[in-house]
Chain A
């Protein structure tokens, strides 16, 4: 079924080689500075130049075409969960807080303040208008947040509000969020799609059709929807009355086009039919690098490529077997051959691109950890000690998702090299995603692979989903009370440095216990035709209207 595999080769939700970032202390320092100045460059250990920003656009554009790996399914922020939806929704809509290219947070539609550990105030910017000219009110903010939190609305971000007890207006321009317990993770969430503000009256008037091609949306961003062919291209046009006069859009209109086939995307970029794209499927990276018409930038990502232990009932229930597997996997070769070098070997569970605060603390911890290296002798020894010699592990895979199939083969080779047996459970692409949704579907598996990310720049944003007992991606029932305690403290910790230290402590335990085994820390790959420039080369495009910066190159 070649059609099928070509078609679906990169349809992955949160799965996929990506690129992200930094490595040396210098890189981090530069990145911290970079949000406002030039294009800092740093070189990591593998020689890949990493950037945060791209050269500022010098002129306007009449139109531009931006590529994504598939067309969007919805514009409703509460059901936007993947690269394409995030890219487009972030271009149109804005959140309470604004993520910066380096992952730090700044005021967005409101200024957030912790008045007390359990009381957050949001002071709205009075000048903000929706596309229809209506000012953003406290009612809109309350409606949007409650809608995101309400399971009955069917949104994907309900759990991030689990410490919220009430959201009320406490002034003409002030909303107060009262918490059951202190929650310093909430501000990060409010900078992502969970914190996007839509117009209450518009959303209510459109009911079920809100966010569809028929109903559309009403937001505040630098672009508004012009045309949207259901299941196809969406064209957005400049919002001439955008409230932020210092960040007006440079391109009059942008067409977002879904190009599912990675080589078709590469050809479109090389021929100039597509002006730019954040490329998730890097199979065509060598071809892109050869094209003289293109600039390629690598930057910090929130993505982590992971080997997920889905069951602790089998051989992987023994931590020695998990450690042995980690020692047997040749990450350097994998990164070189499977993702063409667009990733780095991890030392911590989560990508360095997620250090949105207290960089020094995270960097120091990273430097103190060894790079994950192959040690087959030790790995075989561990397998023997665990009595797992000749035991079988079942890895879910899908030959319809090229990246996953490739990685599954690499894991099989690794496991077999240390005396384990491997059965690959091969299913269709859709059924591979189903493993993540349906407990029964993955009942016979020991492991899966995924590239996944958190919503904001804090390693805990992703780690908490699989290392905490109630985490949404904790499929194996993994429970380490020490980690739970540390993340519990981190979530309630006001001081960023202190929070980072708690994160790091928990991360070291995770590296020791390996509930998920880190595979690689991908980079963001931003590819642009030389006629355009502007957006940052980091994960920022997933949450902020960075497409407003896209303009003509000098």
Chain B
């Protein structure tokens, strides 16, 4: 499945880049008009004049042999460009995912179990946060916590564990905000729904401790919708990371993908996109596996779910 997805994606990405108007040359020269002869030399050098199928085959052949090509803008192997940035992006997404899971579920639960002012407050704030795009969150966080209060740095990803955590905290919050709010709302809704079920009422009538009821009867059953939405939103973090990296000037995969796409740096776009596809597919797979663990009725490989 993964291989087919990747193959299809690579064709779509290649075709889209090829069909988009403009030539990579203008990105390379930044719009500087060049003599004909120089243009021909550059086109030959970077295989920009190859027909589309030849170009794609050239790339595919290399990729199957583990050679993902060379960035024509930077003139270095794509793997050299991607490896250091992939780590940064993975750290950022992981950090944000932890925030989404821990705080999203906790806040949702709090809202569901504490009706009244806590619940209303939670509802209002998550409504606002869920509708807050990450670039807005980024701007607000930077101006308050970096510029005004000076608690966090505004730029870069940092070196060493502690410094990285310090650098990535605001970006992770900006990235997590709307997903976190969404997860909180779904958690609240499914917990409330489960809490209304007959077996929960029965348990209450039997005088079981509230804590036990919540954990065993409510949360366990609410876990499936929560896991689904958490999985989807975490996968979406991978896509949204470009915006946040841009705002915080973090030199990661997302920001570099945008840069490469706008300069039609084909090999780089292809490699990063495919990497993101892999990350997306893997996240979904992990969610599927979790279903099986959470609900014995779901069996891996069966189509009953």
A residues with a Cβ closer than 8 A to B are: 2-4, 6-8, 11-15, 70-71, 73-74, 81-82, 151-156, 158-159, 208-209, 211-214, 229-233, 257, 259-261, 263-264, 267-268, 270-271, 273-274, 427-438, 441, 450, 472-473, 475
B256 within 8 A of A: yes
B74:A73 contact, CB within 8 angstroms: yes
Which residues of chain B from 144 to 165 have a CB within 8 Å of any chain A CB?
146-147, 150, 153-156
- Beyond A7-B246, A231-B259, whether A151 also contacts B35 by CB under 8 A is yes
B81 within 8 A of A: yes
- Beyond A428-B22, A472-B33, whether A8 also contacts B262 by CB under 8 A is yes
B150:A156 contact, CB within 8 angstroms: no
List of A residues within 8 angstroms of B207 by Cβ: none
Q: In whole angstroms, how far apart are the Cα atoms of A82 and B32 in the complex?
A: 9
A435 nearest CB neighbor, chain B only = B31
Contact of B21 among A11, A13, A441 (CB under 8 A): A441
List of B residues within 8 angstroms of A264 by Cβ: 142, 154-155, 246-249
List of B residues within 8 angstroms of A428 by Cβ: 20, 22, 262
Interface bracket on B:
35 or more
Top 5 nearest A-B pairs by Cβ distance?
Answer: A13-B30, A433-B31, A436-B31, A434-B26, A151-B37
B35:A261 contact, CB within 8 angstroms: no
A232 nearest CB neighbor, chain B only = B251
List of A residues within 8 angstroms of B29 by Cβ: 13, 81, 156, 433, 437
B23:A438 contact, CB within 8 angstroms: yes
Q: In whole angstroms, how far apart are the Cα atoms of A475 and B32 in the complex?
A: 12
Q: In whole angstroms, how far apart are the Cα atoms of A259 and B146 in the complex?
A: 16
Q: In whole angstroms, how far apart are the Cα atoms of A11 and B147 in the complex?
A: 25
List of B residues within 8 angstroms of A435 by Cβ: 31
| Additional pairs, 10, CB under 8 Å, beyond known A3-B258, A212-B76 | A2-B135, A7-B259, A15-B31, A154-B38, A213-B74, A214-B76, A264-B247, A427-B22, A432-B31, A472-B35
Contact of B33 among A260, A431, A432, A473 (CB under 8 A): A473
Q: In whole angstroms, how far apart are the Cα atoms of A156 and B33 in the complex?
A: 9
A156:B34 contact, CB within 8 angstroms: yes
- Beyond A154-B38, A268-B154, A437-B26, whether A212 also contacts B33 by CB under 8 A is no
B32:A81 contact, CB within 8 angstroms: yes
Q: In whole angstroms, how far apart are the Cα atoms of A70 and B146 in the complex?
A: 22
B259:A156 contact, CB within 8 angstroms: no
List of B residues within 8 angstroms of A2 by Cβ: 133, 135, 243
A268:B74 contact, CB within 8 angstroms: no
- What are 26 A-B pairs with beta-carbon distances under 8 A? A3-B242, A6-B246, A7-B258, A73-B73, A151-B38, A156-B34, A232-B251, A257-B155, A257-B156, A260-B249, A267-B142, A267-B154, A268-B155, A270-B147, A271-B154, A273-B154, A428-B22, A433-B27, A433-B30, A434-B31, A435-B31, A436-B26, A437-B23, A437-B25, A441-B21, A441-B22
B32:A13 contact, CB within 8 angstroms: yes
A7:B262 contact, CB within 8 angstroms: yes
B32:A156 contact, CB within 8 angstroms: yes
Chain B window 234-271, contacts with chain A (Cβ cutoff 8 Å), 1 for yes, 0 for no: 00000000110011110100011011001110000000
Contact of A208 among B75, B147, B255 (CB under 8 A): B75
B204 within 8 A of A: no
A430:B264 contact, CB within 8 angstroms: yes
